[in-house]
């Protein structure tokens, strides 16, 4: 192989590596921009939430949350009970129809 061919091959490989590196740098820039947008969006959402909660007593909010969770459990229990009653009524209706 001649020296010129070797140099050309080396240059071709170097050009490919430079192109891959440039593509990688571009992708990293795009990723950084996307992440910065997401970070700004989350920061805005955090500020909005802080504004909504500003002036509220944390203990009161916690107590309200606990009460809502208890109420949710009660509703779920009642729902299961109603579903059970409906199921038993359906079984009775099926027996009557038979």
Instruction: Give the chain's domain count.
Output: 2
Instruction: Quote the domain boundaries for residue 24.
Output: 1-55
pLDDT in tens, 54-80: 878 888 889 999 999 999 999 999 999
pLDDT digits (tens, 9 = 90+) for 8-59: 788 888 899 999 999 999 999 999 999 999 999 999 999 998 888 887 888 8
1 pLDDT higher than 60: no
DSSP the chain: --HHHHHHHHHHHHHHHHHHHHHHHHHHHHHHHHHHHHHHHHHHHHHHHHHHHTT--HHHHHHHHHHHHHHHHHHHHHHHHHHHHHHHHHHHHHHHH-
Please give the structure tokens belonging to residue 21: 């590196």
- Cα dihedral across residues 20, 26, 31, 32: positive or negative: positive
1 and 47 both lie in a single domain: yes
* pLDDT attached to residue 53: 80
Answer yes or no: do 48 and 80 share one domain: no
């Amino acid at each position: 192989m001649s020296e010129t061919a070797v140099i050309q091959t080396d240059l071709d490989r170097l050009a490919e590596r430079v192109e891959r590196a440039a593509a990688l740098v571009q992708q990293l820039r795009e990723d950084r921009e996307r992440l910065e947008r997401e970070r700004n969006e989350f920061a805005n959402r955090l500020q909005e939430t802080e504004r909504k909660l500003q002036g509220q007593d944390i203990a009161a909010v916690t107590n309200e949350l606990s009460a809502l969770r208890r109420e949710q459990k009660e509703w779920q229990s009642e729902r299961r009970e109603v579903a059970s009653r409906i199921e038993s009524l359906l079984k009775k209706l099926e027996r009557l129809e038979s």
